[in-house]
Amino acid sequence: MKISTKEMVLASLFTALTAIGAFLSIPVGSVPITLQSLFVILSGLLLGPKLGALSQLVYVLLGLLGVRIFAGFSGGPQSVFSPSFGFLIGFIFAAFIVGLITHSNDSISFTRIFVASLVGTFVIYLFGVPYMYMIINHVMGKSISFATALETGCIIFLPGDTLKAIVSSLIASKVLQRIKLVNE
């Protein structure tokens, strides 16, 4: 995949925005509330599947290499043993799938953007909750049910994540309209 300078800058911007979103966090149980998912979803909506996923892959790799850009100012290879690391893996796939849904044809509507945002949020949970369950039960040596993992890693965050999906959809629909007008 050949990447232009403009695309590299845009992907880097969303890598940085995701990192900034991690620093704006509220600690709640095993998984903090952050603005990361807002920027993850926006990366797929605005950059498309490949660049959106690339921006999130770079974010995760930088964190694994020791740059303290994960929530709670953490980073390093030991992050894979954190209950929240599965959500970070989900960021990569969510950005890709959101980009696919949004840019699958030329007709980009608010409804399509909002559905893509909700699907992306679900993808993050799809990776995050089972990973959190596995780490808590098999690495940390605690015992929780999958229902508890679902409640503490997903259910309590649904209202906020739905709000973030609405906000990202509103932002993206306006930005994509402007881009379309400029390109015509």
Residues 102 and 116: beta-carbon distance below 8 Å: yes
Confidence of residue 29 (pLDDT cuts 50, 70, 90): low
Candidates 77, 67, 41; CA nearest to 161 is: 41
Q: Is residue 27 predicted with pLDDT exceeding 90? A: no
User: Domains of the chain by range and CATH?
Assistant: 5-183 (1.10.1760.20)
Distance CA 164, CA 148 (A): 23
Number of Cβ within a 10 Å radius of residue 131: 22
For residue 140, the model assigns a pLDDT of 95
Report the pLDDT averaged over residues 78-93: 97
Q: What is the mean pLDDT of residues 33-47?
A: 95
Question: For 133-151, how does the pLDDT look when each residue is reduced to its tens digit (9 = 90+)?
Answer: 999 999 999 999 999 999 9
Give 17-58 as a DSSP string: HHHHHHHS-B--TTS-B-SHHHHHHHHHHHHHHHHHHHHHHH
Average confidence (pLDDT) over 13-36: 85
Count of C-beta atoms within a 10 Å radius of residue 143: 8
- What percent of the chain shows pLDDT beyond 70? 95
Q: Average pLDDT in the 81-103 region? A: 97
Q: Decide: 55 and 48 in contact? Cβ < 8 Å.
A: no
* Angle, CA of 148, 149 and 151, to the nearest 5°: 65
Beta bridge partners, 70, equal: 74
pLDDT attached to residue 142: 95
Chain mean pLDDT for the chain: 93
Sign of CA dihedral 14, 94, 148, 156: positive
Q: Which helix (H) or strand (E) holds 100?
A: helix 85-102
Distance between CA atoms of residues 66 and 4, nearest Å = 27
Q: What is the mean pLDDT of residues 108-129?
A: 96
Whether 87 contacts 47, CB under 8 Å: no
Model confidence at 184: pLDDT above 50: no
What is the per-residue pLDDT for 1?
A: 72
What is the rounded average pLDDT of the residues 88-112?
94
Nearest Cα residue to 36 out of 78, 75, 90: 90
What's the pLDDT at 32? 67
The residue type at 41:
I
**Opening angle at CA 45, ends 152 and 171, nearest 5:** 85
